[in-house]
Amino acid sequence: MTQAPSERRSNLFYDQWMESIGIPIHRGHYHSDLRTLELGWWEERGCNAAFLQMKGMEGVSEARIVEIPPGKTLPPLKMAIGETIYVLSGSGLASVWAGEGPKNSFEWGPHAMFHVPRYAHVQLSNARGDQPARLLHYNYMPMAMTIVPDPEFFFNNPFEDPSLLYGQGDDLYSQARAVLGAGAKDSMAEAAGAVRDDSLKAANHGGAWWIGNFFPDMAQWDKLSPHRGRGAGGLSVKIQFPGSGMGASMSVFDASMYKKAHLHGPGRVIVIPRGEGYSLLTEPGKEAVVCPWGEAAVFTPPGGWYHQHFNLGTEPARYLKFGHLPQFSSAGDYRDQIEYANEDPWVREHFEKELAARGRESQMPDIVYSDPDYQWDYGDDN
């Protein structure tokens, strides 16, 4: 559902600022395709754009859609907070620089993801002259504006810290690197020394962390590790952006399978790089919200709501999740999930009904519904 800015007022300063921009604000639990979402002209940014203010994001995270016109370059933007950008469609060029330092320029295409550090300038160009490019931007501006209710502080702040971009010894927009899980919690300099080729077998769920500011294609990313404990024999990658508390993760799971229900804190935004399916968002004690998805769909699990992901397609499905601030993390040891043996029978019945309508059957092994200690076989010794 979309509301005009004048139809809703909030006591949060960020919401008042957002509504003052005058572009569409899309609310609700999910949207089926961000590539076709209604946008409006944002004069200051020289492009069409829209905000996402979905259930579970309010007061925590910002997401907005920006469309770069064919063959055009947007004005440079510098923010006092970091921001993650995901390419929904199109191809182009990004230039990132800080202070008087050199520009880091790189090409991006569909499904690319990159991070712009705080206090850095970024300028985005559309390389195609025949079609627009659409990008999804994600940050924590609502929380920041609650503490400092002054937009000028965030968009015209003269403070510079080039070390965030140039002080790590490497080009931060070159290929990302894997580090052991514990190493990713250290500083970037420490993490860089922890890289090992066999680190993908590390850790309890999700394996190694990948450190970097540029990931060229999340629909094709194959550096994945067993996501033990979450079910469906799924794989995942965990991502940390250097010099930042921000991160992302992506899970991949096979056709005709589904993951276990789990919950965590607010502010996360999930976008689909590839696949067909749906997710259930369930506030404890209430009826589930069904969120159908395909490529470029988006949904947001509110804090404290269980959510569960189902693959109805014929190939592995992927969901990319933004929002990993530690204060909003779950217990991390699967205490905040529901085992298959303990889930409402309706969950399984609904999944099998949806598959049957497509002429297929569930590939979930029957044992998972009777043995809560069942371990998926990943073909290794862990």
Mean pLDDT of 12-41: 97
133/207 same-domain check: no
Q: Report pTM.
A: 0.90
324 pLDDT band, cuts 50/70/90, is confident
Q: Is residue 259 part of a domain?
A: yes
Mind listing the pLDDT tens digit for each residue in 230-262? Answer: 999 999 999 999 888 899 999 999 999 999 999
Mind listing the pLDDT tens digit for each residue in 185-196? Answer: 443 334 333 333
252/139 same-domain check: no
- So what's the pLDDT on residue 1? 43
303/223 same-domain check: yes
Q: Contact at 8 Å (CB) between 86 and 138?
A: yes
- So what's the pLDDT on residue 204? 42
Question: 3-class DSSP state for residue 105?
Answer: strand
| Long-range contacts, stretch 103-107, CB < 8 angstroms, 24+ apart | 104/165, 104/171, 104/172, 104/173, 106/173, 106/214
> pLDDT at residue 168 above 90?
no
144/20 same-domain check: yes
For residue 83, give Cα distances in angstroms to 86, 151, 177. 10, 16, 20
> pLDDT at residue 7 above 80?
no
Q: Is residue 15 part of a domain?
A: yes
- So what's the pLDDT on residue 179? 77
Q: What is the C-alpha to C-alpha distance for residues 101 and 376, in angstroms, rounded to an integer?
A: 49
Residue 49 tokens read as 């754009």
171 pLDDT band, cuts 50/70/90, is low
Question: Which residue among 123, 158, 193 closes a domain?
Answer: 158
63/190 same-domain check: no
Mean pLDDT of 181-208: 41
CB atoms within 10 A of CB 18: 21
Q: What is the C-alpha to C-alpha distance for residues 313 and 257, in angstroms, rounded to an integer?
A: 9
332/262 same-domain check: yes
Q: Is residue 163 part of a domain?
A: no
**For residues 316 and 193, which has the higher predicted lDDT (pLDDT)?**
316
227: DSSP letter: -
Residue by residue, what is the 3-state secondary structure of 58-93? CCCCEEEEEEECCCCECCCEECCCCEEEEEEECCEE
Q: Is residue 377 part of a domain?
A: no
Residue 286 tokens read as 């209430």
- So what's the pLDDT on residue 183? 44
101: DSSP letter: P
Mind listing the pLDDT tens digit for each residue in 332-354? Answer: 555 689 999 999 999 999 999 99
146/195 same-domain check: no
Q: Is residue 43 part of a domain?
A: yes
175 pLDDT band, cuts 50/70/90, is low
Percent of the residues in the chain that have a pLDDT greater than 90, as a whole number: 75
333/270 same-domain check: yes
Q: Is residue 168 part of a domain?
A: no
> pLDDT at residue 178 above 60?
yes
Q: Is residue 364 part of a domain?
A: yes
**For residues 26 and 168, which has the higher predicted lDDT (pLDDT)?**
26
6/117 same-domain check: yes
154/198 same-domain check: no
- So what's the pLDDT on residue 185? 46
CA dihedral 278, 282, 286, 292 (to 10 degrees): -20
**For residues 146 and 198, which has the higher predicted lDDT (pLDDT)?**
146
User: What is the CATH classification number for the domain harbouring 85?
Assistant: 2.60.120.10
Which residue shows structure tokens 């590539």?
A: 35
Which residue shows structure tokens 């949207």?
A: 31
For residue 105, give Cα distances in angstroms to 47, 129, 168, 250. 21, 19, 17, 25
Mind listing the pLDDT tens digit for each residue in 51-89? Answer: 999 999 989 999 999 999 999 999 999 999 999 999 999
Q: Contact at 8 Å (CB) between 5 and 25?
A: yes
- So what's the pLDDT on residue 334? 57
**For the ranges 43-52, 204-213, 275-284, which has the lowest average pLDDT?**
204-213
Q: Is residue 72 part of a domain?
A: yes
102/183 same-domain check: no
Mean pLDDT of the chain: 88
329: DSSP letter: -
189/74 same-domain check: no
Q: What is the C-alpha to C-alpha distance for residues 122 and 116, in angstroms, rounded to an integer?
A: 7
CB atoms within 10 A of CB 309: 29
48 pLDDT band, cuts 50/70/90, is very high
Q: Specify the number of domains making up the chain.
A: 2
Residue range(s) defining the domain that contains residue 52: 2-158
CB atoms within 10 A of CB 148: 13
